[in-house]
Amino acid sequence: MKRRKRTMIKKMTKYSFVVFHKEVEDFLGKLQEIGVVDVTRQKRAIDSYSMEKFEEIAKYNAAASALKRLKDEALKAKMEIPAQKPSCQDLLAHYTNMTAQKDLLKGKIATLKAEYEEALPWGIFTPDNFKALEELSLTLYFYCVSSQKYNKEWENQCPVHILNEYNGKIYFAVIMENGEKPSLPLVPSSFPSVSANILEAELKECEAKYQAANNELLALTNCIDDLNAQKEELFNNLDLYLANGASVKKADNKIVIFEAFAPTEIDQQVTAFLEENNVYYLKEDAKEEDNPPIKLKNNFFAKLYEPIGELYMLPKYGELDLTMFYAPFYMLFFGFCLGDMGYGLVLILAGLFVNFKVKAFANYGKLIAWLGLGTVIMPAFSGTVFGAKLYELVPLPQNITEFFFNDMQMFWFAILFGIFQIVVARLIQCVYNIIKKNYRVGLNALGWGMAIAWATLAYASSEAGFSYPAWVNYIGFASLALIVLCGSDAKNPIVRIVKGTFTLYDSTSVFGDVLSYIRLFGLATSGGILGFVINSISMTLGEVPYIGWLLMIIMLIIGHIFVMLLSSLGAFVHPLRLTFIEFYKNAGFEGGGRAYNPLKKK
């Protein structure tokens, strides 16, 4: 009897649907209604039509995001938003037109303002003024000079007519006959082609149109939900199109065959639907070579960490899901890196607030609270609270303060904690390979786990000066034998031993993995130093007369918030690296699975 392999991935059933071509659209629509069957389909454009629809969806997303920003800015500026929605059917086209009109007017207003500023000092005129002068064979020359440089004698040399005095400058014109030029030591200025009053009227008209376009966009902010609904409807139709495009056509395209998957636990629901709609189908257990979609099943704690694992990749179907194994390590690594019990308490309170008050992000609130708990547990070894030591803030007996780790002890604790994770990963690989592949691969992983544990103990005894029973060395010899004898699948024992011996070179890789965990200590130390600096600055401010206490409190609050946010970034990223590289590699993780994505209405 074949032994059933247990994983943390839901078992899938493979379906093959055979549908008459005229019934495809109706069938897919009904399949979308029940929303539990993952029909194999592309997630990208397969032709010009789907490319066009993807681009249209992107435009809907951009419009909704831009309108949301516009609404937020209007509310922040306490602007009045029109209560009525625009009376138009195509919201996206209306948004596009209004945005283009607003951008065009914005550029035109900027140009008109510049022209108006240039024309304003020259006063008001009309083209008829110049036409009358031309008929009299008179020519106008225009000049602009600062009031200090203007020379009254110029008025005796030629007919000067002062037009305006503006911003410390004198604007004047010289009227000459028969094409003569003034004998002034000045370079003529350019005269505007349009009078300032005309430009001002045109500017006001453009500003009114701009405001009208802006008001229309503000009215469109009432349609954000409608835009999203239209986008989702478009996406649902595109999803159906992609599902149909991934099908196989037979009998001159009269018969359409779909491949689909659904969790085995809902087989009755799916088959009842198929029987009710008289669909011919074949059903069988999904196999690894079918590349079924992945739907994880974890307990309440590990489920919170699934989004973290998805940042890398999902396991293959039939592979072991490592979420429940790395979740507690990630929580504690995060706490180690953040390195401050005070910050942990803040995260717990923040996570609980999000969990109970922001229901849409309740799971993220729980995750933050758990990470906060890890941040209380790990820094407790060194006793760090808001950049200070606990025993410095609270008087504690000597026999209790001796339990707190110093910096060197925290350094070795980070190394040992990392070694422990690597050994756990190797043991996971051992058990999984013995069940899933063959005993030789599993025993090789066991040998490496034993070797790492023995080498750690041997090195620690030489450094710390303690001894261990002599029989423990036999563990080291046994691990070496497992690595050499089980490091290859070769049938020839000599070849197997030679190849197994060469695998001992992997010890350099293991050593590198161990050193990677120093980052835990480094981040914790840097965060502690920053917290200490904030405390020192705050104490200095506290010495300021009268308002020192207020400055000290403000600096403590703002400074520690900044340090906590900055340290949280590193505490989030670096445990990701330790998980996805060191832990996944030593656990033999392969990955490459695709997420379960049932055909359903979004």
pLDDT tens-place string over residues 344-357 = 999 999 999 999 99
Among residues 384, 347, 390, which one has the least CA distance to residue 526? 384
Burial 536-567 (b: 16+ CB within 10 A, else e): eebeebbeeeeeeeebbeebbeebbeebbeeb
Q: Are residues 435 and 563 in the same domain?
A: yes
Does any domain span residue 19? no
> What pLDDT sits at residue 7?
53
Q: Are residues 428 and 447 in the same domain?
A: yes
Q: Are residues 57 and 188 in the same domain?
A: no
pTM of the model: 0.77
Q: Are residues 135 and 167 in the same domain?
A: yes
Q: Are residues 130 and 109 in the same domain?
A: no
> What pLDDT sits at residue 5?
45
Q: Are residues 187 and 204 in the same domain?
A: no
Provide the domain count of the chain.
3
Does any domain span residue 119? no
Find the helix or strand (DSSP H, E) in which 47 lies: none
Reduced DSSP (H G I as helix, E B as strand, rest coil) percent helix, strand, coil of the chain, to 5: 65, 10, 25
**Could you count the other beta carbons within 10 Å of the beta carbon of residue 528?**
23
pLDDT tens-place string over residues 88-110: 778 889 899 999 999 999 999 99
Please give the Cα distance from 269 to 55 (Å, whole number).
36
18: three-class secondary structure by DSSP: strand
**Could you count the other beta carbons within 10 Å of the beta carbon of residue 602?**
11
> What pLDDT sits at residue 31?
87
Q: Are residues 103 and 216 in the same domain?
A: yes
Instruction: Write phi, then psi, for 51 (nearest 5 degrees).
Output: -65, -45
Q: Are residues 161 and 212 in the same domain?
A: no
In the chain, which stretches have pLDDT less than 70?
A: 1-7, 45
Please give the Cα distance from 543 to 538 (Å, whole number).
9
Residue 372 to residues 322, 332, 342, 415, Cα–Cα distance (Å): 22, 9, 9, 22
Does any domain span residue 502? yes
User: What's at 590, amino acid-wise?
Assistant: E
Does any domain span residue 8? no
**Could you count the other beta carbons within 10 Å of the beta carbon of residue 100?**
11
